[in-house]
């Protein structure tokens, strides 16, 4: 790839070129392979970028800033984008063959898939808080078009709800960004640098704590809407249940991470500024409160679900709440646990949605009561769903068990009484997930239920990675996560 900056440009702008290409390609088979090829190129470029950062240090150039935090998420985003494209190519071709969408909307799907990748990668790599806001808003618009792809009344309603709620949230985030810019004008010699994160981070301790405190409240509510934090979460179950399954995989596995990443970057500005004010820990306490409420509501909402995709969307709310709680608690152990949980949750949840896509095709419905006997009809799909649920529920030796154990250990060290709530929530979530999944996997299969052509490669790869991370975190990844922990918390765990 040449220089690190060249690798960065290829990673970020390949999907933008893909939008233009896929918008004019009319042959569906060619578009599917082209979409997959672009995601492979993006992933390879992100690996080259990560290697350059690992050996050469941070990269800051032309309004981009790459460090250990965002390059780790860039690689994760391109990897899941690639594996989802592997699943998406035959799956969406089958959806089109069934007449659920037209060939013209398939063009829109492929173009917006790359547009979604572009906006997420731009949000992760930009050094400008204004561009970050624009990129997150761009991801919202791309997702609206993807969620409404089937053009059913339910999908249009879900897209409209998503657009309105996230539009309100992003407007609040804009106001918070303006307040950060206002605070920067009082400190920085060059007013044009008022939205440059790397410059602001270097001067964060000098920023007005009152203004930063107010700004963070707006930013938390604004970007927290995109994270799916309660009570701004109502868009998420509808968007997951009505959009195409590959969209659910990237929504839950990637977009929620990008919004939480934005909050992390802004907390890294707020904490040094608020240290000089009357409430030095208010940013962390707010994240803990929103995260804990989201975790509890998500866990309780897993009970008595009727739609399989809505059920797993509430699982996403639960896990994003747990991550937000961990990052709010702060400290090296909680931060390391939050980063690890972000990784293993993305891999596991995207694998689950791939399996759910096949399960709903087998049963011909998303209604849990009508999905039965998968392990008898198609053992690969049945076992994939069962193992995916075991992983997301925190069964050892999967990686989510390790990350949840670390979160609970950090909680017991700092807020012992809250560990009771966490353990209770995990037990409730476990009961809800397995109470719903057990009959879907082991129940008696309907007489007319037949196997489908299933692409389980992404599921196998993701779950093997999550299992590996539960058994032993590779030294390279452990050191990388430790570097990010030092960047966020000021000290590491290794």
Query: Are 253 and 351 found together in one domain?
Result: no
Query: Are 449 and 338 found together in one domain?
Result: yes
Q: Could you tell me the pLDDT band of residue 224, with boundaries at 50, 70 and 90? A: very high
Domain-terminating residue out of 280, 298, 326: 280
pLDDT in tens, 372-409: 988 988 889 999 999 999 999 999 999 999 999 999 99
Query: Are 343 and 368 found together in one domain?
Result: yes
Residue 141 lies in a domain: no
Domain-terminating residue out of 77, 92, 127: 127
Residue 52 lies in a domain: yes
pLDDT value at position 176?
A: 94
Pick the residue with more confidence: 92 or 280? Answer: 92
pLDDT in tens, 31-84: 889 999 999 999 999 999 999 888 888 888 888 999 999 999 999 999 999 999
Q: Name the least confident of 116-130, 152-166, 466-480.
A: 152-166
Query: Are 32 and 122 found together in one domain?
Result: yes
pLDDT value at position 269?
A: 92
Residue 35 lies in a domain: yes
Contact 120, 77 (CB under 8 A): yes
Average pLDDT across the chain, whole number? 90
Whether residue 278 has pLDDT greater than 80: no
Query: Are 193 and 261 found together in one domain?
Result: yes
Residue 465 lies in a domain: yes
Pick the residue with more confidence: 253 or 107? Answer: 107
pLDDT in tens, 16-31: 999 999 988 888 889 8
Query: Are 88 and 225 found together in one domain?
Result: no
Whether residue 1 has pLDDT greater than 80: no
Identify the domain containing residue 245 by its residue range.
Answer: 148-280
Domain-terminating residue out of 61, 93, 127: 127
pLDDT value at position 128?
A: 93
Query: Are 369 and 478 found together in one domain?
Result: yes
Residue 138 lies in a domain: no
Query: Are 269 and 293 found together in one domain?
Result: no
Residue 140 lies in a domain: no
Residue 137 lies in a domain: no
Share of the chain above pLDDT 90, in %: 57
Query: Are 175 and 264 found together in one domain?
Result: yes
The number of folded domains in the chain is 3
Residue 31 lies in a domain: yes
Q: Could you tell me the pLDDT band of residue 452, with boundaries at 50, 70 and 90? A: confident
**Range 177-201 average pLDDT:** 90
Joined tokens for residue 35: 């979409």
Query: Are 336 and 475 found together in one domain?
Result: yes
Query: Are 333 and 266 found together in one domain?
Result: no
Query: Are 169 and 275 found together in one domain?
Result: yes
**Range 158-172 average pLDDT:** 88
């Amino acid at each position: 790839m040449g220089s690190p900056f060249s690798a960065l440009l290829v990673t970020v702008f390949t999907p933008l070129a893909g939008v233009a290409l896929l918008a004019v390609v009319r042959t569906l088979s060619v578009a599917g392979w082209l979409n997959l090829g672009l995601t492979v190129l993006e992933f390879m470029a992100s690996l080259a970028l990560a290697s350059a950062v690992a050996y050469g240090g941070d990269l800051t150039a032309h309004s981009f800033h790459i460090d250990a935090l965002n390059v780790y998420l860039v690689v994760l985003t391109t990897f899941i984008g690639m594996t989802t494209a592997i699943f998406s190519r035959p799956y969406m071709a089958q959806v089109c063959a069934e007449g659920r969408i037209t060939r013209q909307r398939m063009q829109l799907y492929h173009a917006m898939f790359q547009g979604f990748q572009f906006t997420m990668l731009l949000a992760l790599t930009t050094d400008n808080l204004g561009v970050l806001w624009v990129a997150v808003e761009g991801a919202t618009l791309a997702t609206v078009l993807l969620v409404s792809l089937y053009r059913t009344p339910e999908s249009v309603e879900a897209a409209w709800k998503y657009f309105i709620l996230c539009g309100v949230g992003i407007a609040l985030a804009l106001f918070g960004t303006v307040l950060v810019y206002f605070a920067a004008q009082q400190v920085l010699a060059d007013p044009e640098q008022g939205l440059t994160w790397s410059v602001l981070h270097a001067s964060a301790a000098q920023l007005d704590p009152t203004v930063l405190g107010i700004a963070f409240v707006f930013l938390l509510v604004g970007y927290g809407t995109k994270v799916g934090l309660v009570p701004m979460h109502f868009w998420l179950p509808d968007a997951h249940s009505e959009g195409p399954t590959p969209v659910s995989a990237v929504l839950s596995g990637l977009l929620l991470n990008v919004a939480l990443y934005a909050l992390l970057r802004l907390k890294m500005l707020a904490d040094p500024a608020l240290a000089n004010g009357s409430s030095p820990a208010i940013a962390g306490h707010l994240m803990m409160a929103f995260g804990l409420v989201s975790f509890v509501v998500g866990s309780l909402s897993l009970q008595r679900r009727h739609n399989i995709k809505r059920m797993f969307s509430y699982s996403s709310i639960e896990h994003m709440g747990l991550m937000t709680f961990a990052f709010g608690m702060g400290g090296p152990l909680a931060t390391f646990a939050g980063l690890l949980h972000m990784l293993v949750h993305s891999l596991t949840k995207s694998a689950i949605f791939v399996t759910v896509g096949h399960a709903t095709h087998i049963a011909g419905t998303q209604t849990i009561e009508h999905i039965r006997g998968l392990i008898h009809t198609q053992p690969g799909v049945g076992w994939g769903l069962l193992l995916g649920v075991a992983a997301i529920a925190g069964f050892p030796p999967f990686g989510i068990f390790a990350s949840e154990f670390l979160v609970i250990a950090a909680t017991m060290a700092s807020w012992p009484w809250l560990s009771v709530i966490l353990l209770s929530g995990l037990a409730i979530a476990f009961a809800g997930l397995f109470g719903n999944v057990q009959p879907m996997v082991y129940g008696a299969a309907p007489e007319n239920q037949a196997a489908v052509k299933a692409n389980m490669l992404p599921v196998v790869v993701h779950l093997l990675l999550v299992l590996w991370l539960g058994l032993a975190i590779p030294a390279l990844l452990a050191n990388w996560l430790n570097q990010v922990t030092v960047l966020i918390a000021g000290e590491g765990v290794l």
